[in-house]
């Protein structure tokens, strides 16, 4: 009986089994590294979009009074403006009129507002101060089961002279890639 256990058939079967284990290990390692690269790239892209959106929100936009040219319900004329919330009258401040216009544009057509802002992921912007303001623009990620969130909060001054904070969030609820 011992001679039959170490027969050529058994040795061949063990070699096939070990070859399968080696192949499975190679495939698993490759898939795992591809997932890490894809996910890492997605996070990096979200961070870039967050930084770009944050800079855009602090800029004045083009033309400086773009909010008077952009028709909230007519997305075709949105191509003629570059959105920024900065005040044209006082550098370094945020214009409440521009904030309210962007809020109305986002509420009117969220997808078109994402394109206007140059964001491929979803976005959510809040402007808040002590007891005075709590304004929200975009889609709140907490209501939509996000899988990844990148955010930044900066202090701002509103054009009425009041100190406030602006929190900009770029988020997705997809596994990876632009959703």
**pLDDT over threshold 50, residue 178:** no
pLDDT number for residue 37? 46
Q: 14 falls in which pLDDT band (50, 70, 90)?
A: confident
DSSP-assigned beta bridge partners for residue 124: 138, 169
**pLDDT over threshold 80, residue 179:** no
CA atoms of 72 and 108, how far apart (whole Å): 7
Q: What percent of the chain has pLDDT over 90?
A: 46
**pLDDT over threshold 90, residue 132:** no
Global pTM reads 0.74
Q: 142 falls in which pLDDT band (50, 70, 90)?
A: very high
DSSP-assigned beta bridge partners for residue 82: 62
Q: 32 falls in which pLDDT band (50, 70, 90)?
A: low
The enclosing H or E element of 144 equals none
**pLDDT over threshold 90, residue 113:** yes
**Span 134-141, average pLDDT:** 94
166 or 177: which leads in pLDDT:
166
The residue extents of the domains of the chain are 9-172
171 or 40: which leads in pLDDT:
171
**Span 42-52, average pLDDT:** 87
Q: Give yes or no for a cis peptide into 29 (omega within 30° of 0).
A: no
Q: Which of 108, 93, 107 has its CA nearest to residue 136? A: 107
């Amino acid at each position: 009986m011992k001679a039959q256990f170490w027969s050529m058939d058994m040795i061949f079967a063990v070699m096939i089994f070990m070859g399968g284990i080696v192949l499975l290990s190679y495939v698993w390692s490759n898939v795992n590294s591809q997932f890490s690269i894809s996910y890492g790239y997605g996070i990096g892209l979200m961070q870039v979009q967050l930084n770009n959106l944050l800079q855009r929100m602090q800029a004045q936009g083009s033309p400086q009074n773009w909010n008077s040219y952009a028709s909230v319900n007519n997305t075709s004329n949105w191509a003629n403006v570059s959105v920024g919330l900065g005040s044209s009258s006082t550098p370094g401040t945020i214009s409440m009129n521009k904030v309210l216009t962007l809020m109305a544009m986002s509420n009117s057509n969220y997808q078109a507002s994402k394109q206007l802002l140059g964001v491929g992921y979803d976005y959510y912007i809040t402007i808040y101060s002590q007891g005075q303001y709590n304004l929200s623009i975009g889609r709140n990620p907490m209501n939509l089961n996000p899988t990844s969130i990148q955010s930044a909060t900066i202090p701002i001054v509103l054009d009425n002279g009041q100190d406030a904070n602006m929190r900009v969030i770029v988020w997705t609820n997809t596994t990876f890639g632009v959703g």
